[in-house]
């Protein structure tokens, strides 16, 4: 069995008989951690954790100890629960991997074994071993895959958090929050606890969000790229000053700005080649970040392909300079942004 929707997984854990094996992987750490907590809470009788819960690190895993824990009878409880965190399959020799599969295939009916891939990529695309283990878990247990959620899903997520704590959050302000703090669900959950604790009840307004949350790097660089697209030098300098006040590393700012112009260049090349937005999404990894492509398609018409290439060259040289040259790196970044504006001016004169 394979489950990918959090509602289906939550319903399964709450109402259905537990499987013998759960293999949990994917990009969204918040949902993976939540799933593990719910499984342990369901499988382990409260107060009996010492006897019925066994935690192992996947690094240097002892198969002897794992087999012993998996075969232990539950004490004053219905289930015995075993958790393996970040199983390092690539470091396993074939004999150990075969033995691991044998242990998983012969679990006692009262054992629930959870493999949680929190910090190690557990995708079937990673390797043949991951694929084989996922296939085994899917046949005898349950595979839970948590990929990055789309913006619409995140808007619903934060609005539900607000409602659950007696507050209100409009879709527009939910989108504002996501644009400021990013799409990581753990961060969003933390920010919602802060906002609802401050608001206590009623509507969480734009003013409250801007007062209590700090823009993440990507959001600030988005403002910088928008200022460049609009030809607004004053706004661009203002954003650069804000980034300096936030003590953001110029190397990181340059990298994020480069990605914004890579998006624009891809969109421009697609337009010149008479390709559409769906073609860009098909060939590049924008999963859960379709808005970046939409923005790039919208804004790329303001540049020629040649100018975008020149801007990327400026950013590439600046990245190299920031990583190697001595001097004030904030000034180097400002000089790069001014050079980008000069590229735009030359374009208009042609």
Determine the Cα angle at 67 with ends 62 and 69, to 5°. 95
Backbone angles phi, psi at 26, to 5 degrees: 130, 180
Confidence of residue 288 (pLDDT cuts 50, 70, 90): low
Confidence of residue 18 (pLDDT cuts 50, 70, 90): confident
Would the pLDDT of 350 be above 70? no
3-state class of 183 per DSSP?
coil
Domain limits, CATH 1.20.272.10, in the chain: 217-349
Q: State the average pLDDT over residues 301-324.
A: 91
- DSSP strand pairing (167-168 vs 202-203): parallel
Confidence of residue 348 (pLDDT cuts 50, 70, 90): low
Tokens linked to 66: 């794992």
Would the pLDDT of 168 be above 90? yes
Q: What is the mean pLDDT of the chain?
A: 87
Looking at residue 318, its pLDDT comes to 93
Do residues 341 and 224 lie in contact, with contact meaning Cβ atoms separated by under 8 Å? Answer: no
Fold of 151-212: Helicase, Ruva Protein; domain 3 (1.10.8)
Q: In what order do the strands lie in the sheet with 21-26?
A: 2-3, 142-146, 21-26, 111-116, 80-85, 53-57
Please name the residues in contact with 288: beta carbons below 8 A apart, sequence gap of 6 or more: 147, 148, 149, 150, 151, 183
Cα 79 from Cα 302, distance rounded (Å): 62
In the chain, what is the greatest distance between 2 CA atoms, to the nearest angstrom?
A: 82
Indicate the range of 6-15, 48-57, 75-84, 180-189 predicted with least confidence.
6-15
Q: What letter does residue 249 receive in the DSSP assignment?
A: -
Fold of 2-146: Rossmann fold (3.40.50)
Would the pLDDT of 6 be above 90? no
**3 state SS for 14-67:** HHCCCCCEEEEEECCHHHHHHHHHHHHHHHCCCCCHHHHEEEEECCCCCHHHHH
Cα 255 from Cα 117, distance rounded (Å): 28
3-state class of 273 per DSSP?
coil
Predicted confidence (pLDDT) per residue in 213-236, tens digit: 877 777 788 888 889 988 899 999
Cα 325 from Cα 327, distance rounded (Å): 7
What share of the chain has pLDDT > 90, as a percent?
Answer: 30
Looking at residue 314, its pLDDT comes to 93
Looking at residue 311, its pLDDT comes to 93
3-state class of 302 per DSSP?
helix
What pTM, to 2 d.p., does this model score? 0.65
Torsion sign across C-alpha atoms 217, 181, 146, 66: positive
Of 103-107, 129-133, 195-199, give the range with the top mean pLDDT.
195-199
Cα 66 from Cα 58, distance rounded (Å): 10
Looking at residue 349, its pLDDT comes to 56
Domain limits, CATH 1.10.8.60, in the chain: 151-212
Closest CA to 263 of 316, 300, 318: 300
| CATH architecture, domain defined by 217-349 | Up-down Bundle (1.20)
Query: Any idea of the CA torsion for 331, 333, 335, 339, to the nearest 10 degrees?
Result: 180
Cα 242 from Cα 238, distance rounded (Å): 6
Looking at residue 320, its pLDDT comes to 92
Domain limits, CATH 3.40.50.300, in the chain: 2-146
Lookup result for tokens 């808005």: 291
Residue 228 or 50, more confident: 228
């Amino acid at each position: 069995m394979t489950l990918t929707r959090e509602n289906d997984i939550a319903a399964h854990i709450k109402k259905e008989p537990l499987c013998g094996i759960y293999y949990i992987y994917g990009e969204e750490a918040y949902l993976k951690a939540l799933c593990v907590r719910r499984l342990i809470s369901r499988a382990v009788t409260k107060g009996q954790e010492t006897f019925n819960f066994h935690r192992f690190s996947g690094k240097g895993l002892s198969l002897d100890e794992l087999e012993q824990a998996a075969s232990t009878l539950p004490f004053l409880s219905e289930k015995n629960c075993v958790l393996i965190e970040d199983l390092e399959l690539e470091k396993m020799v074939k004999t150990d991997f075969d033995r691991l599969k044998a242990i998983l295939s012969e679990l006692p009916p009262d054992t629930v074994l959870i493999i949680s891939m929190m910090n190690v990529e557990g995708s079937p695309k990673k390797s043949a071993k991951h694929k084989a283990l996922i296939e085994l878990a899917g046949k005898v247990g349950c595979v839970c895959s948590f990929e990055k959620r789309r913006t619409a899903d995140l808007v619903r997520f934060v609005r539900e958090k607000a409602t659950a704590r007696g507050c209100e959050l409009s879709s527009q302000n939910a989108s504002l929050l996501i644009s400021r703090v990013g799409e990581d669900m753990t961060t969003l959950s933390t920010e919602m606890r802060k906002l609802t604790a401050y608001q206590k009840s009623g509507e969480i307004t734009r003013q409250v969000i801007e007062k209590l949350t700090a823009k993440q790097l990507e959001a600030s660089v988005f403002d910088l790229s928008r200022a460049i697209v609009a030809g607004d030098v004053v706004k661009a300098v203002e954003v650069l000053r804000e980034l300096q006040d936030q003590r953001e590393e110029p190397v990181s700012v340059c990298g994020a700005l480069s990605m914004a112009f890579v998006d624009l260049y891809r969109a421009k090349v697609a337009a010149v080649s008479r390709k559409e937005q769906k073609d860009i999404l098909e060939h590049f990894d924008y999963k859960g970040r379709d808005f970046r492509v939409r923005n790039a398609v919208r804004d790329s018409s303001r540049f020629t392909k040649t100018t975008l290439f020149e801007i990327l060259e400026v950013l590439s040289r600046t990245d190299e300079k920031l990583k190697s040259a001595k001097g004030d790196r904030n000034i180097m970044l400002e000089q790069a942004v001014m050079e980008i504006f000069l590229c735009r001016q030359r374009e208009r004169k042609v």
